[in-house]
Amino acid sequence: MSRQSQETGPTGRSGEANAARVTAGSVIWFLFMAGLWVVFFVYLRSGRLEDVAQTIKDLPLPVELLVWILFFPWVLGTAVWTSGWSETVRMVLVILFAVAWTVVSIPRPRTPKAAKVSEPPRS
């Protein structure tokens, strides 16, 4: 292998250009997810989460369904928190939701797509 192909890699780009990158969209999504969890816990701490839950319940059904779809993790957390379950169970579930959805949303570098290798026809 020539020195140039070792430095630039198979695509002919420099090593830095070949490195996987985090997209701006994934960073924005992560900030949105984490930011709404911060808002959720601020509302929880201030005692206004019950008002949010009641406002969601008072919406017309199609709008309420849309809110559930668009803001599922936070509405689920609100529903769990305002349920009649013990405070320990509610806190564990809400923290579990927040951690899980935040971890899933952490920006990860995009890996370059591997070239498809066509299989030879079988005889």
pLDDT value, residue 7: 47
What is the pLDDT, as a whole number, of residue 115? 56
- What is the per-residue pLDDT across 90-104, written as a single tens digit (0 to 9) for each? 999 999 999 999 998
What is the structure's pLDDT at 97?
Answer: 94
Task: Note the pLDDT of residue 5.
Answer: 47
For 82, which DSSP code? T
Beta strands in 38-84 (DSSP E): none
pTM: 0.68
The CA distance from 35 to 105, in Å, is 12
Closest to 52 in 3D by CA, of 69, 34, 31, 74: 74
**Cα dihedral angle (77, 58, 54, 100), rounded to 10 degrees?**
10
* Residue 80 scores a pLDDT above 90: yes
Q: What percent of the chain has pLDDT over 70?
A: 76
